[in-house]
């Protein structure tokens, strides 16, 4: 029985979300989608929402006046999703930002 070749993956590239490629059947027209739960102080929810919406690839899907936001991130790769999540976490008035879901959507 012939042994299948094992693709060589750069560890740094893997850690930054670069594990996918032509060998896994992923389309060149794919997009990473993630949802993030953001907690703010109730009196700062609108300020935080405006700051989040100013980030590229983000959309507020839902908001709760008690200080919760559901944010959708669309990006070209998982590294960009992580960078956007870090940017959201670092915004003023954001107490927590937790990744709830991440997946790849392709045509």
Model confidence pLDDT, tens digit, residues 29-60: 789 999 999 999 999 999 999 999 999 999 99
Predicted pLDDT at 25:
46
Mean pLDDT, residues 63-89 taken together? 94
Query: Mean pLDDT highest for which of 27-31, 88-92, 100-104?
Result: 88-92
* Separation CA 73–CA 76 (nearest Å): 10
Domain 30-106 belongs in CATH node 2.60.120.10: no
- pTM, whole model, 2 decimals? 0.73
Domain ranges of the chain: 30-106
Q: In this structure, what is the dihedral angle of CA atoms 45, 46, 52, 53, given to the nearest 10 degrees?
A: 150
Rg, the chain, Cα only: 17
| Model confidence band, residue 3 (pLDDT cutoffs 50, 70, 90) | low
- Cα separation of 71 and 61, whole Å? 6
Which strands, in side-by-side order, build the sheet including 94-106? 58-64, 68-75, 30-40, 94-106
The neighbour count for residue 14, using CB atoms within 10 Å, is: 11
Confidence (pLDDT) at 78: 87
């Amino acid at each position: 029985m012939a042994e299948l070749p094992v693709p060589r993956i750069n560890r740094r590239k893997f850690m930054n979300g670069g594990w996918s490629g032509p060998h896994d059947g992923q389309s060149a027209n794919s997009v990473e989608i993630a949802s993030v739960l953001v907690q703010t102080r109730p009196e700062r929810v609108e300020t935080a929402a405006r700051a989040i919406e100013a980030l590229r690839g983000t959309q507020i899907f839902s908001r709760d006046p008690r200080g919760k936001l559901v944010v959708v991130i669309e990006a070209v790769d998982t590294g960009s999703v992580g960078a956007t999540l870090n940017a959201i976490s670092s915004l003023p008035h954001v107490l927590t930002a937790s990744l709830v879901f991440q997946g790849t959507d392709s045509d």
